[in-house]
Amino acid sequence: MRIACLPLLILAASSAPALAVNIDGHIRADEWKGARHVANFRQTQPLSGRPGSLHTEAWILATPKGLAVAFRCDQPADVPRTRQRVQRDFEDQVDRVNLMVDFDGDGRTGYDFVVSSTGGVNDAVVTNETVFNKDWDGSWQHAVSEDAAGWTVEMLIPWYIAPMHTAHDGHRTLGIYLDRVVGSTGERDSWPVASFTRPRFLSEFSRVEMPQYSQSLLAVTPYMSGLYDNVRGRSHFQEGADLLWKPNGQFQLTAALHPDFGQVESDDLVVNFGATETYVSDKRPFFTENQGIFDFSLLDDNSQLVYTRRVGGPSDDGHGAADINAAVKLNGSFGTTSYGVLAAGEEGEAGRVFGAARVTHDFGDQSLGMLLTRVDRPWLDREATVLGIDHHWHPTPQLTIASNLVGSEIVQSGTHTRDGGGTVIADYEMGGGWRQQWLGMHFGDQLQINDFGYLQRNNFNYGHWEVRKRYTALPVDSAYSSHDWRFRIDALDNDHGLRLRRQLRISRNSDLRNGGSEIVQLNVNSAGWDDLLTRGNGALFLPPSLDLVYERISPRHGDWAFKLDAEAISGGLAGNRRMGYDVKFIPTYFINDAFSVYAGPYYEHIPDWLVWQRDSGVVGRFNEHSLQLDAGFDWSIDSRQELRLKLQAIGLDARVRGVYRVGANGRAIASGEPVDDFSVRNLGLQIRYRYELAPLSYLYVVYGRGGYAQDEFPGTTTTDALRSSFALRDDEQVLVKLSYRFDI
């Protein structure tokens, strides 16, 4: 009865001034006086727009201490509750709520704050309308309570959590999105009716006007870390500090002195014999704090003009990872113009100096931005400058157009090299679940952005046309709640007119009524040339090929959950005459709501695997088998402590089928040059304990071990290679790190 009467009490007191909200998970009418009440939640997963199957309501209130939001989620006894405890930045399918805020209301950058029904949190930055980056961790308050009828969440987001544009007449207009997810079914009910599966998401948030408040913050986070290398028998101690200063909403300074970028997070193992670099995300706090202003995507997968893993990455002199002296970042705004400046310097003669400057301006239904980067690499006698301009436009409610232009100038030992590129993408919502997309790209063969940025390859022209159809009115007895069909045709040539690929893609993304998801995708590729395989020693002609992918994710039901990936793929010189395949199955067993264990294999067979032989124009043709083990456990000891084990081991066996060179016409010519069978072994093991001393203050104790070996004439099976990978010990380290944030 108290909950049912609460909306009336709040509305009756709407003219009263805002009082302090006690974030304890219990909604009290006197605390939420004057709040905006939201009860019109609609289904957006599946994206039907119908009223939610369970009642949800929320309250939004601006207070001097921050943006306060409360959710009341009805959940009767016949709807199972997910009581699983989750770690920070969880991706588990559990009961949860999302608050997303665009503090400037311009559709450029949003912040996502997620709370599960068991009190777990996740936070992320949203850019380019639909791109989520959960590497960022913010400091904000939350609390959860539950009763027989449902559960309640309260949140308080400080005003200093993000830079904001200047307010007008004492008021600020925010973009706000709220949703609630039912873990047992996967149903998502939101206000407003907006979805990250559509081309517009951030710009579709509801505009909410509220009083202007401002908070200042000075936070200093000193740290100490000690590392013992058990292989080399030596220790390393380091100390430093991070500084965060926000005198007001329009300016922020972030600095790091002798930042410690030791591995408390472990990257996934990747065996990469290809010509393109593997992209790895960045969890380092300095590079995740309000980094959204520097997001400049070239709209090609993970492409970015600022790829922060370059800073402190492999040194130019080849002596391991570079050490960073200091780094500084400024963010701010003037009116509707936002800016950011980033600089970082590395130690030693091979130390690089990185710089970036970014500015964006909002024109209502359009926005325009510029990003300039510069990297000085004295060890290589190289200076790299890149300039990018990006434009976003919503000419009609149905049409969205994004475009960018980029150019680079490289000075290498006195020689200047210049080139450019650009991308344009248009999305059109036709109604009735239909959608079209057109995309075009051009990147010159001398465009070079990878001194600071990330681009898998240059030297190409690409275009595609895609049409989609969404189905949500499925029969009630169907296992699926929605299907999203996609049909795409594309063309890829290099910048000299050489045909690399023509492709037909058909895919279906589906949501299941049990909260799971399913993806099926077929790629049919024409014959074409591979101009990267031989690293400049000629383009190799390859026959037609195809690729069929299946992915199924089943969330927890009872004590089990699983993920299944399977693929049938052709390629190489045999084309469709030889089919390979891979299968990955990872089951998870929940010992209880706080402790889960997972272990599963990944098996791959490529019967016609082409591998370039280094420093030559020779290509080896191999029959490849690989076996990988992924295993570990996650233990949420309590609300402050967690223990995690992550183990990955790979064994790969490749047997020579033939040796070839590329002929003048691009055809493979058999060669008698010697190429040997080989095997690869790879190991990554990490045990990590984390204790949260206070918000964004942690004690880490981490044990890590790993190694990599490539052997010729292996004389072993794939299983033998996997088994022997556990003996690798190139690195074995124990790291203890203590950091504590002081808010002044």
SS (H, E, C) 634-660: EEECCCCEEEEEEEEEEEEEEEEEEEE
Instruction: Look up the CATH number of the domain holding residue 333.
Output: 2.40.160
Residues 444 and 332 reside in one and the same domain: yes
Residue 550 lies in a domain: no
Domain count, the chain: 2
**Residue 279: Cβ within 10 Å count:** 14
Decide if 444 contacts 419 (C-beta within 8 A).
yes
**Residue 431: Cβ within 10 Å count:** 7
Q: What is the pLDDT of residues 18-28, one digit of tens each?
A: 457 999 999 99
What mean pLDDT is predicted for residues 318-324?
A: 88
DSSP states of 538-562 as a string? -PEEE--EEEEEEEEEEEEETTEEE
Maximum alpha-carbon separation in the chain:
88
Residues above pLDDT 70, as percent of the chain? 97
- As a whole number of angstroms, the distance between CA 492 and CA 471 comes to 30
* Closest of 272, 288, 43 to residue 161, by C-alpha: 288
Helix (H) or strand (E) holding 358: strand 353-362
Residue 295 lies in a domain: yes
Decide if 389 contacts 368 (C-beta within 8 A).
yes
Enumerate the β-bridge partners of residue 124: 112
Q: What is the per-residue pLDDT for 286?
A: 83
Decide if 3 contacts 27 (C-beta within 8 A).
yes
Residue 330 lies in a domain: yes
Residues 170 and 298 reside in one and the same domain: no
Residues 303 and 183 reside in one and the same domain: no
Residues 14 and 156 reside in one and the same domain: yes
Decide if 217 contacts 227 (C-beta within 8 A).
no
What mean pLDDT is predicted for residues 377-398?
A: 96
Q: Please compute Rg for the chain using Cα positions.
A: 27
pLDDT of 652 strictly over 90: yes
Q: What is the 3-state secondary structure (H, E, C) of 523-537?
A: EEECCEEECCCCCCC
Average pLDDT, the chain: 92
Residues 204 and 306 reside in one and the same domain: no
Q: Which tokens belong to 537?
A: 């020693």
Whole-model pTM?
0.89
Residue 619 lies in a domain: no
Choose one of 152, 186, 213: the last residue of a domain: 213
Choose one of 189, 213, 237: the last residue of a domain: 213
Q: What is the pLDDT of residues 94-136, one digit of tens each?
A: 999 999 999 999 888 999 999 999 999 999 999 889 989 888 8
Confidence bin at 452 (pLDDT 50/70/90) = very high
- As a whole number of angstroms, the distance between CA 181 and CA 52 comes to 10
* Separation in Å, CA 663 to CA 541, 660, 668: 10, 9, 6
Q: What is the per-residue pLDDT for 273?
A: 83
Please give the DSSP secondary-structure letter assigned to residue 613: P
* Closest of 471, 310, 459, 281 to residue 376, by C-alpha: 310
Confidence bin at 263 (pLDDT 50/70/90) = low
Q: What is the pLDDT of residues 594-615, one digit of tens each?
A: 999 999 999 999 999 999 998 7
Residue 323 lies in a domain: yes
Burial of 467 (0-12, 13-18, 19+ CB in 10 A): middle
- As a whole number of angstroms, the distance between CA 591 and CA 339 comes to 49
Confidence bin at 48 (pLDDT 50/70/90) = very high
Task: Please give the residue range of the domain that contains residue 440.
Answer: 290-452
Q: What is the per-residue pLDDT for 271?
A: 81
* Closest of 424, 469, 150, 101 to residue 292, by C-alpha: 101
Decide if 389 contacts 402 (C-beta within 8 A).
no
3-state secondary structure of 367: strand
pLDDT of 161 strictly over 70: yes
What mean pLDDT is predicted for residues 309-337?
A: 90
Residues 11 and 102 reside in one and the same domain: yes
Residues 175 and 60 reside in one and the same domain: yes
- As a whole number of angstroms, the distance between CA 612 and CA 86 comes to 44
What mean pLDDT is predicted for residues 630-651?
A: 95
Confidence bin at 261 (pLDDT 50/70/90) = low
pLDDT of 451 strictly over 50: yes
Confidence bin at 260 (pLDDT 50/70/90) = low
* Closest of 711, 714, 618, 704 to residue 269, by C-alpha: 704
Decide if 661 contacts 669 (C-beta within 8 A).
yes
Q: What is the pLDDT of residues 684-724, one digit of tens each?
A: 999 999 999 999 999 999 999 999 999 887 777 899 999 99
3-state secondary structure of 11: helix
Residues 296 and 439 reside in one and the same domain: yes
pLDDT of 11 strictly over 70: no
**Residue 729: Cβ within 10 Å count:** 12
Residue 347 lies in a domain: yes
* Closest of 328, 402, 343 to residue 369, by C-alpha: 402
Choose one of 165, 182, 213: the last residue of a domain: 213
pLDDT of 4 strictly over 80: no
Residue 31 lies in a domain: yes
Q: What is the per-residue pLDDT for 19?
A: 55
Residues 174 and 39 reside in one and the same domain: yes
Q: What is the pLDDT of residues 462-519, one digit of tens each?
A: 999 999 999 999 999 999 999 999 999 999 999 999 999 999 999 999 999 999 999 9
Burial of 718 (0-12, 13-18, 19+ CB in 10 A): buried
pLDDT of 1 strictly over 50: no
What mean pLDDT is predicted for residues 286-302?
A: 85
Residue 109 lies in a domain: yes
Residues above pLDDT 90, as percent of the chain? 79
Confidence bin at 145 (pLDDT 50/70/90) = very high
Residues 301 and 188 reside in one and the same domain: no
Helix (H) or strand (E) holding 3: helix 2-12
Give the start-end residues of each E strand in 34-168: 36-38, 42-45, 56-63, 66-74, 96-102, 109-116, 121-127, 131-133, 141-147, 150-157
Decide if 115 contacts 129 (C-beta within 8 A).
no
With a CB cutoff of 8 Å and minimum separation 6, the contacts of 723 are 651
| 642-664 CB burial, b ≥16 within 10 A, e <16 | bbbbbbbbbbbbbeebebbbbee
In degrees rounded to 5, what are phi and psi of residue 379? -60, -30
Residues 316 and 185 reside in one and the same domain: no
Residues 442 and 307 reside in one and the same domain: yes
The alpha carbon dihedral of 586, 121, 104, 387 has a sign of: negative
Beta strand pairing status for 366-377 and 560-571? Answer: unpaired
With a CB cutoff of 8 Å and minimum separation 6, the contacts of 64 are 18, 20, 213, 215
What mean pLDDT is predicted for residues 225-253?
A: 91
Instruction: Look up the CATH number of the domain holding residue 51.
Output: 2.60.40.1190
- As a whole number of angstroms, the distance between CA 595 and CA 85 comes to 8
| 337-360 CB burial, b ≥16 within 10 A, e <16 | ebbbbbbbbbeeebbbebbbbbbb
Q: What is the pLDDT of residues 532-584, one digit of tens each?
A: 999 989 999 999 999 999 999 999 999 999 999 999 999 999 999 999 999 99
- As a whole number of angstroms, the distance between CA 55 and CA 57 comes to 7
